[in-house]
A = this chain, B = another copy of it.
Amino acid sequence: MPTAATDFAERLDRCAEDTEAVLARLLSDTLLPEEIARPRRLMDAMRYSSLGGGKRLRPFLVVESSAVFDVPREAALLAGAALECIHCYSLIHDDLPAMDNSDLRRGRPTLHKKTDDATAILAGDGLLTLAFDIITRDELHKDANVRLLLTRALARAAGIGGMVGGQMLDLAGEGRFGDREPVDVARLQQMKTGALLRFGCIAGAILGQSPQRQYQALDDYGRALGEAFQIADDLLDVEGDAAALGKQTGQDAALGKTTFVTQLGIDGARQRVRDLLARADSALSIFGPKGDVLRAAAHFVAERKH
C-alpha cells in the first residue's frame, strides 16, 4: 500500500519526467524550421543547461497549484516549463565568472566551462526570451486575459523587483561593489529565490481563475514556502553533506555572507522553518484535502537533505 510519502515522491518524479519531455520538445530543432541547424550551438547550449535533471520543483508547484483548480495538466506543464526556463537562465548567468564564478553545477561543468562565456550569456538570454514565448501560447488558456495576467506575473517575479533585483542585492551584500552593503536577508531572498517559487504557487490560481480568497491563500503559502526553501538552503550550507548536495558546503561562511543562519542562529533558523510550515499549512486549510500535495511540498522543501 503506498504511503503519503511515496505518493508524493511519485508525483514529484512524474512531474519531473513530464517537464523534461515538454522542455525537450520546446527546445527541439523543429522549433526553427527556417533556420535549420544554424544556431545549433545556441540550441545545444540551451539544452545542456535545461535538460537532464533537477527536481523541477518550480514546475511541480505550478502543476500542483493548478491541480487544485482542475486546470488541465498540459497547460500547467507548459507554464511550468516557462518558469523552469527562467530558473535555468538565472543559473547560467549566476555561474558566470563575472558573477559567482562556479565551475560545477549538479556535478557537471557549468555551461561557460563546457562552452565559453559568450555562449553562456546568449543561451541565458535565449532561455529568458523563450519563457515569454511559451507563457503566451494559446494552449495555456482559452482566455487571453488569463494568459496576460500570467505573463505579467512571470515578468514581475523574474525582474527588477524579483529575481534580478535580488541577485543584485546579494552581490552588493558580498561587498562586490566596494563596502559590503547591509542586507535584509528576508527581503533579499524574497526577491532572489522567493519570487519565482511564489509564482509557481499562484500560477494555478491564475490559470484556474480562482476567487480572490483562494489566490491570496496560495500567495501566502508561496511566500512561506519560498522563505522556508531558502532557510533550508542556508542550513544545508552549514550542516549538509557535500556529497549528497553535489556541491561544496561552507560557501556562505567563506564569503562572509549574511544568511538566515547568521542572523537567527541554527536553532533560530530551525524554529523559523517550523513557524513557516505552520503558516503554509494554515494558508492551505481553505482547500481541505485538495491542499494535501502542496502541504507535503512545503515539508519536502523545508526538510530536504539536498
Complex CA distance for A86 and B221, rounded to whole angstroms: 34
A169 CB-CB contact with B under 8 Å: yes
Determine the residue in chain B with the shortest Cβ distance to A129. Answer: B159
Which of A61-69, A71-79, A118-126, A274-282 lies at the binding interface? A118-126
A259: interface (CB < 8 Å): no
Q: Does A306 contact B (CB under 8 A)?
A: no
Q: Which residues of A from 188 to 214 have beta carbons under 8 Å from B?
A: 191
A155 touches B132 (CB 8 A): yes
Chain B residues contacting A187 (CB-CB under 8 Å) are: 35, 38
Chain B contacts for A122, CB-based, 8 A: 93, 164, 167-168, 171
Q: Mark A111-148, 1 if CB is under 8 A from B, else 0.
A: 00001111101101110111011001100000111011
Which residue, of A160, A164, A176, has the highest number of chain B Cβ atoms within 10 A? A160
The answer to whether B129 and A117 touch across the interface, beta carbons within 8 angstroms, is no
- CB neighbours (8 Å) of A22 from chain B are none
Are A129 and B158 in contact, CB atoms less than 8 angstroms apart? yes
| Stretch of A39-47, A232-240, A296-304 at the chain-chain interface | A39-47
Residue of B39, B126, B160 touching A31 (CB-CB under 8 A): B160
CB contact between A116 and one of B133, B148, B151, B177 (< 8 Å): that residue: B177
Interface residue A98 (Cβ < 8 Å from any Cβ of B): yes
The answer on a CB contact under 8 Å between A160 and B98 is no
In the bound complex, CA of A164 to CA of B85 (Å) = 15
A96 within 8 A of B: yes
Looking at the assembled complex, report how far the CB atom of A226 sits from the nearest CB atom of chain B, in whole angstroms.
Answer: 15
Instruction: Say yes or no for A165: interface residue by CB 8 A criterion.
Output: yes
* A176 partner residues in chain B, CB cutoff 8 A: 116, 118
- Also in contact, A130 and B159, with CB within 8 A (given A42-B164, A136-B152): yes
Whether a CB of chain B sits under 8 angstroms from the CB of A99 is yes
Considering the complex, which residues of chain A in the window 83-106 have a beta carbon less than 8 Å from any beta carbon of chain B? 89, 93, 96, 98-99
Residues A136 and B121 in contact in the complex (CB < 8 Å), given A39-B160, A43-B160, A128-B128:
no
Verify A165–B39 contact, CB threshold 8 A.
Answer: yes
A268 at the interface (CB under 8 A from B): no
From known contacts A32-B161, A126-B160, infer whether A133 and B148 are also in contact, taking CB-CB under 8 Å: no
Identify 12 residue pairs between A and B in the complex whose beta-carbon atoms are under 8 Å apart, listed by A's number. A32-B165, A35-B191, A38-B165, A41-B168, A118-B176, A122-B171, A130-B159, A132-B152, A132-B155, A133-B156, A136-B155, A144-B148
**Other A-B pairs, 6, CB within 8 Å; known A35-B165, A121-B121:** A39-B169, A41-B172, A98-B118, A116-B176, A132-B151, A136-B152
Top 9 closest A-B pairs, CB basis?
Answer: A98-B117, A144-B144, A39-B165, A133-B155, A129-B159, A42-B168, A132-B155, A144-B145, A136-B152
